[in-house]
Chains A and B, each alone.
Chain A
Amino acid sequence: DSGVTQTPKHLITATGQRVTLRCSPRSGDLSVYWYQQSLDQGLQFLIQYYNGEERAKGNILERFSAQQFPDLHSELNLSSLELGDSALYFCASSVRTSGNIQYFGAGTRLSVL
């Protein structure tokens, strides 16, 4: 158990809908990262928050947004969903930033029908 909790484990929704994925980092970790794993794109970095502030952005679509709350949990919001958004979404956390080990949650599998 990595200590990173992601909910829900599975999510099935329809095109055009909006969903929210939730992540609770390991106790004491200030940094939260979101990654998308799909068959065609592999594991892609989406976005990072550090102590409530956005710190880095990767290949995140404009339809996607995230935030980190004062208690350090994070949410990834996906809107106007398309079939191609079906993927496994991972959250990871680390104590600080560059070079620190990132601990991954079990992921949320999103299926857009």
Chain B
Amino acid sequence: AQSVTQLGSHVSVSEGALVLLRCNYSSSVPPYLFWYVQYPNQGLQLLLKYTSAATLVKGINGFEAEFKKSETSFHLTKPSAHMSDAAEYFCAAGPRGTDKLIFGTGTRLQVFP
């Protein structure tokens, strides 16, 4: 069965530092890939989506993710963290031919001043 692995349940960075959140998927056929962010007591908000048009995907709030088929990865990055980036981030895969999303376990990002 397809799965999504997010390495690191907690990541802490200083304000202004690089943010790197890791996501790997398990599938021989690359699925649709998504990153969502969840702020406290809120629903999930889409950051970006990979559809196979381009390997480097730019999203909202300065985030981007690079799809690497050879590594089955879709890591999320942001060059400079802001305090407002503190939230939980979920990587999700949408297997081709199905409609559901398979979520990773999430990574909680803390940003220190």
Chain A contacts to B: CB under 8 angstroms: 2, 4, 31, 33, 35, 42-45, 48, 50, 55-56, 58, 90, 92, 97-99, 101-107
CB of A79, distance to nearest CB on chain B (Å): 23
B96 touching A98 by the CB < 8 A rule? yes
23 contacts between A and B (CB under 8 A): A2-B45, A4-B43, A33-B99, A33-B101, A35-B103, A42-B106, A43-B90, A43-B103, A50-B99, A56-B100, A58-B100, A90-B44, A97-B99, A98-B98, A99-B32, A99-B51, A102-B101, A103-B46, A104-B44, A106-B41, A106-B42, A106-B43, A107-B43
Within 8 A of A (CB), among B87-102: 90, 92, 94, 96-102
A104 touching B100 by the CB < 8 A rule? no
B94 touching A98 by the CB < 8 A rule? yes
A99 touching B103 by the CB < 8 A rule? no
User: Known interface pairs A101-B49, A104-B36. Does A48 touch B99 (Cβ–Cβ under 8 Å)?
Assistant: yes
Complex-state Cα separation, A56 to B100, whole angstroms: 8
Interface residues of A: mostly helix, strand, loop or mixed? strand
B105 touching A42 by the CB < 8 A rule? yes
Size class of the B contact interface (CB-based, 8 Å):
20 to 34
- By a CB distance below 8 angstroms, the chain B residues around A44 are 103
- By a CB distance below 8 angstroms, the chain A residues around B51 are 99
Q: Which residue of A lies closest to B103 (CB)?
A: A43
Residue among B34, B44, B92, B98 facing the most chain A CB atoms (10 A cut-off): B44
Complex-state Cα separation, A101 to B103, whole angstroms: 14
- By a CB distance below 8 angstroms, the chain B residues around A31 are 99
B43 touching A33 by the CB < 8 A rule? no
Q: Which of B32, B98, B104, B106 contacts A56 (CB 8 A)?
A: B98
Complex-state Cα separation, A97 to B44, whole angstroms: 18
- New A-B pairs, 5, CB < 8 Å, besides A2-B43, A45-B100, A104-B36: A42-B103, A90-B44, A98-B94, A98-B97, A102-B101
